[in-house]
Amino acid sequence: MTREEFLGAVLQLITENHGDEGLFAAHLGSLVRRAYEGFDWKALGFRNLSAILDVLENGRLVRRETNEKGALRVWSTEEGAKASGSSISWVESPTQGVRLRKDIWSAFVLEVPLGLRYFDKESQSVVMGLSRALQKPPSWVEIPPIARQTQQEWAHEILAESDLSSDTELLQALAEERWFIKFTEALRIRAHHLWLSWNRKRTCGVVAHVRKWAKDNTISFESLVDVSKRRAEKTSRFLTADDRQLRRTLMAIIERMTTSELLDIRVPLRYAIDVAGARGSPISGEKEQ
């Protein structure tokens, strides 16, 4: 079975079994394993079920959300129902899991500072807030920020998918000047799975936009991606025995420390932000990605 045929077969299982309440991901996994007993989807490049759903969702063939208890459910879309059972070969450019550099994300997404924005192919740097066009050498490329209207259309899609298109509170949040902060916080309060769905949709939309811009301007997309997290994950897979022993020793020491002693440890800010975001802590300001 090819990768394309397998994607079509999974899509068919979703279409035939999702119902009004959606198909729980755990049940989908069981259906796939029963239908293709002994088949290893890792041989096709999918590390897990979520990676399969990433591809299908990026092709707008399925939608998924996490309920209030944290259980993932999936539905096939109208396009997905039409493609059910066919080979899926046109959606294999996943955007989920890609983390853009912070300066690239800001240049494309944030409304401030006002002014023109540029990317230098040679230095890989970004400049923002220019009051007039740059007398630029060929290596400088203008960055067109994603319009507020476009981003709000993504928000309306989330509301439509959740039958909330007429929700007065959420629509009012979208109409605010600081709409992103208000809307995101309103979703977080309403239901954590809505907040997750919104962040996933916005991130996918931004990444797809940046990928196209990079292609149109002959810029390596990989140069725009934050590889620090990926590098850390890759390094952790190749820890030596001494490294593992050291980690165990450090964790044992931490277990014996008091809370006040733990507060004296220097922790990289990105870890604190990641943990707070995962737990849904109310951090003021805009979530970057």
pLDDT tens-place string over residues 131-159: 988 876 788 999 999 999 999 999 998 88
Range with the poorest average pLDDT among 56-60, 133-137, 246-250, 271-275? 271-275
Give ranges for CATH 3.30.420.610 in the chain: 3-83
What's the full length of the chain, in residues?
289
Q: Which of 8, 16, 15 is nearest to 44 (CA)?
A: 8
Residue 90 has pLDDT above 80, yes or no: no
- DSSP secondary-structure letter at 100? B
Residue 287 has pLDDT above 70, yes or no: no
Quick one: average pLDDT of 10-30? 90
pLDDT tens-place string over residues 210-258: 999 999 999 999 999 987 655 444 444 444 445 566 777 777 788 888 8
What percentage of residues in the chain have a pLDDT greater than 90?
Answer: 36
- Please tell me the distance from the alpha carbon of residue 136 to that of residue 118, in angstroms, as a whole number: 9
Per-residue pLDDT band for 96 (boundaries 50, 70, 90) equals: low
The stretches of the chain forming alpha helices (DSSP H) are 3-17, 25-35, 49-58, 78-83, 102-109, 148-161, 168-175, 179-190, 192-216, 228-236, 241-256, 259-262, 269-278
Rounded to two decimals, the pTM is 0.54
| Residue 215 confidence (pLDDT) | 93
Residue 49 has pLDDT above 90, yes or no: no
CATH number at 3-83: 3.30.420.610
| Residue 269 confidence (pLDDT) | 59
Quick one: average pLDDT of 157-173? 89
| Residue 238 confidence (pLDDT) | 42
- Please tell me the distance from the alpha carbon of residue 105 to that of residue 222, in angstroms, as a whole number: 14
- Please tell me the distance from the alpha carbon of residue 142 to that of residue 161, in angstroms, as a whole number: 34
Tokens 């899926």 map to which residue? 88
Per-residue pLDDT band for 183 (boundaries 50, 70, 90) equals: very high
pLDDT tens-place string over residues 75-85: 988 888 877 76
Q: Mean pLDDT score of the chain, rounded to an integer?
A: 81
C-alpha R_g of the chain: 22
Per-residue pLDDT band for 86 (boundaries 50, 70, 90) equals: low
| Residue 66 confidence (pLDDT) | 77
Residue 114 has pLDDT above 60, yes or no: yes
